């Protein structure tokens, strides 16, 4: 969000951070962190879902996808695949 405001609207990072009540050092520290664990897990889950969905002939719904993922050793909740299924 801060990057988009500084690029599009030509605001200074410190101005945007002040408006959002955060520090510029916090923004820069966050920007240089690696990918989040949850995002990585979502990518792995999404790839496994796509593979299971394709292998099923595009016939699996959410309950069958969850069972297929659990058989592959990916322990996931019933709700999580529904949220990451946008790309399937």
> How many Cα atoms occupy the beta-carbon half-sphere of 22 within 13 Å?
13
Give residue-wise pLDDT tens across range 64-86: 888 888 888 887 776 665 555 54
**Is the separation of the CB atoms in 76 and 70 below 8 Å?**
yes
Q: Which helix (H) or strand (E) holds 47?
A: helix 37-55
- The answer to whether the CB of 26 falls within 8 A of the CB of 32 is no
| Cα–Cα distance, 11 to 61 (Å, whole number) | 46
Q: Which is more confident, 31 or 2?
A: 31
What residue spans define the domains of the chain?
A: 2-31, 37-87
Q: Where is pLDDT greater, at 78 or 2?
A: 78
Contact, 32 vs 71, CB < 8 A? no
Q: Is the pLDDT of residue 88 over 50?
A: no
- Average pLDDT, integer, range 46-73: 82
pTM over 0.75: no
């Amino acid at each position: 969000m801060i990057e988009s405001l500084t690029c599009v609207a030509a605001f200074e990072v410190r101005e945007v951070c002040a408006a959002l009540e955060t520090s510029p050092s916090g923004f820069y520290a966050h920007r240089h962190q690696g990918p989040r664990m949850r995002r990585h897990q979502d990518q792995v889950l999404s790839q496994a879902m796509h593979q299971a969905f394709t292998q099923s002939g595009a016939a699996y719904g959410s309950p069958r996808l969850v069972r297929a993922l659990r058989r592959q050793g990916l322990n996931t909740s019933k709700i999580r695949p529904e949220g990451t299924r946008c790309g399937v």
